A = this chain, B = another copy of it.
Amino acid sequence: MIRSVLTYDTTAKSQIRTITPELNELIIQSGIDNGTLLVYSLHTTLGLMVQETSEPNLCQDFIDYLTSRVENDGNVYHHRCALHPSGACVEDRFNAPSHIRQLLTNQSLMLDIQGGHLTLGQWQDVAFFELDGPRRGRQIRVKITPD
């Protein structure tokens, strides 16, 4: 069993990036031929998806859809980072739209591993969906467990 964290600097407000190669690389490093992979985001404005994310036009369609259906004006909403009871907010943000969009993605994925790589359909890739970028050091938790 191995745990790992994938870390990315994102480059746009909204960005979809395929991470299947990195996940398969972790599987190879683990030496696990058959098992299960758990992957989830450690952020509330970055989600995950299993989709045809190698096709960049489709990624733009996903971004356009979420951007048009959740208004891009944070002032429509009430949330401010500074209102979190922890008091840990350093830079205040009016980014409720980013949070709402993330709710509409997948937040936790389990996938099968067989023959040393992820079991995915022909058009499927795993990707992260950045919804509040650009940000440095975005983290994705990965855990690989043998059968």
Q: Taking CB as reference atom, which chain B residue is nearest A43?
A: B121
Q: How far is the CA of A56 from the CA of B41 in the complex (A)?
A: 22
A36 at the interface (CB under 8 A from B): yes
Tell whether, in the assembled complex, residue B123 and residue A141 are in contact, meaning their CB atoms are under 8 Å apart. no
User: Is the interface on chain A under 10, 10 to 19, 20 to 34, or 35 or more residues?
Assistant: 35 or more
Q: Which residue of B lies closest to A121 (CB)?
A: B42
B103 touches A51 (CB 8 A): yes
Q: Is A55 an interface residue (CB 8 A)?
A: yes
This chain's copy number in the assembly: 3
- Residue A33 CB within 8 A of the other chain: no
Among residues of B, the one whose C-beta sits closest to the C-beta of A113 is B143
A8 contacts the other chain (CB 8 A) = no
Name A57-116 residues within 8 Å CB distance of B: 57-58, 60-62, 64-65, 69-70, 77-81, 83-86, 88, 96, 99-100, 102-112, 114
Taking CB atoms, residues of chain B closer than 8 Å to A3 are 112, 114
- Give chain B nearest CB distance to A119 CB in angstroms: 6
